[in-house]
Structure formats: structure tokens, C-alpha cells
Amino acid sequence: MRFDVLTLFPELIESHMSFSIMKRAVEDGIIEVHTVDPRDYTLDKHRKVDDTPYGGGAGMVLAPQPYVDCYEGVNKLDNSITIMMTPQGEPYNDKIANELAQYNQIIILCGHYEGFDERIREIIKPREISIGDYVLTGGELPALCLIDSVSRKIDGTLGKIESARDDSFSDGLLEYPQYTKPREYRGLKVPEVLLNGNHKLIEEFRMEQKIVRTKTKRPDLWEKWRGK
Ligand code: ADE
């Protein structure tokens, strides 16, 4: 899987990729993350990527020429998709992450300031994705949420594929509670059923817990799961 990220702040993307599981996935050749800066495609000597909005109003708008030229300079692989990170997009979730994990290449447009000139959308026609109903100062954090969550769906990124299989949301329910050593901490004991090695009982216990948790913490997910 190859990610190409159009961003005015490449270091934000690169820094996340230099730690922990993402770093290992890059070193193991499971994912590749490349950044391109639209500022490098500006035609004026001030390297200006934005301008004031026609019609007036506060803030700045990202101009079409640097973004479109930058996008057209990205080498497109077969089975590639282009995504724009924007609060106006469809709400991101685990189902979309699974869908995106099937592509060979994801090209991501990150905005900044007040937003994109509408012609960037009209020319590039990206799939628009939002990570939630709130507005961030830029698309880099949303892009990283997407890269991180899609990468963990790809075989080899996590130590064992089972660790993704049992994740919250993978079957529409939240994950069961986890415990490690010691058996007792501040008077709180690990549930007995987890200690006896009976895998059938453990599985039943975990399923019950998933249901209880989802019902109480995320009634919306519970209703959806029940209706399946
Ligand atoms: N850019 C700014 N806010 C965003 C959000 N909530 N989702 C995606 N991209 C964004």
C-alpha cells in the first residue's frame, strides 16, 4: 500500500511515521508514505498557495493551481483512490477503513486555512472524508488517522492479524475488557474465567462483555448490531 499525501506541512506526516508500529510497517515494506508539497508547484516568487475569498469573508482560500498541478504530478498506480480530508466529507469509520485497505495507492489532499477553492474538487473529484463533526486547523491529523487506521488492516502491519480481528468495531461491537499481570491490583482481581484456560468459557465471557459494553457505552452501535 502506497500513500501519497499533498500537504503544506510534510513534517507532520513524516513524524508520525517515524514511531512504533507505523515505523516498523514502513521499514518492513508493508506501507510507503510519500509527501508532496503544493508550495513547490507555485508559479510566483512568493510561493503563495492561498488568497482572499471572492465575495469577501474572513480567512484565506487554497488556490487551485498549486494543488491541481501538484496532484497531477503524483504518479498514479493501478487501483488508486484520491481522498480529500474535509469536515464536509462522509463520516469516517471502520467500514470505510476496510474498503480503503483494498487499494494499492491512496492519494490524500490535506487542506489548511479556510478551505479549498471549489474548483479543486471539481477537477480532482476526490472522495471526501471527515473524521468527525468538528473543525481542525488542517487536514494532516485527519490524514494520519486515515493512514494509521487503514495500515493496521493490512496483513503484516500488526504482529498478528488476530489483534486487528478482535478490535472494537471489527464485528460492530466494542472490544472486551483486557487484563494482564498481576492477578490482583489494589484489590481488583482479574476475572476467574480468564485464568482457567477453558477457551470456550473465555470466548463466552468475552462475547457477553462485548455486548454489555456496547449496550452501555454505545447504544447507537448496539441498536445497529441488534438489527443486523
Ligand atoms: N479538516 C479540518 N477538520 C477536518 C475534519 N473534521 N475531518 C477531516 N478533515 C478536516
Question: DSSP character for 116?
Answer: B
How far is C-alpha 178 from the chain's CA centre? 24
> What is the structure's pLDDT at 160?
63
Our answer to whether residue 167 is catalytic in this structure is: yes
Q: Is residue 159 part of a domain?
A: no
Q: Is residue 157 part of a domain?
A: no
Catalytic residue among 50, 66, 152, 213: 152
> What is the structure's pLDDT at 218?
97
Residue holding cell 493490512?
A: 154
Q: HSE on the CB side for 2, CA within 13 Å?
A: 12
Our answer to whether residue 114 is catalytic in this structure is: yes
Catalytic residue among 167, 175, 177, 206: 167
Our answer to whether residue 183 is catalytic in this structure is: no
Strands 80-91 vs 61-62: parallel, antiparallel or unpaired? unpaired
User: Domain of 182?
Assistant: 168-226
Quote the number of domains for the chain: 2
122 and 218 share one domain: no
76 and 184 share one domain: no
Strands 184-185 vs 127-130: parallel, antiparallel or unpaired? unpaired
For ligand 1, atom 4, which residue shows the shortest CA distance?
87
What is the secondary structure of 111-129 as a DSSP string? -BTT-B-HHHHHHH-PEEE
Angle among Cα 15, 149, 107 to the nearest 5 degrees reads: 70
- What are the tens digits of pLDDT across the range 204-225? 999 999 999 999 999 999 999 9
The pTM (predicted TM-score) of the whole model is 0.94
125 and 216 share one domain: no
Angle among Cα 92, 98, 100 to the nearest 5 degrees reads: 75
130 and 50 share one domain: yes
Given 151, 182, 201, the domain boundary residue is 151
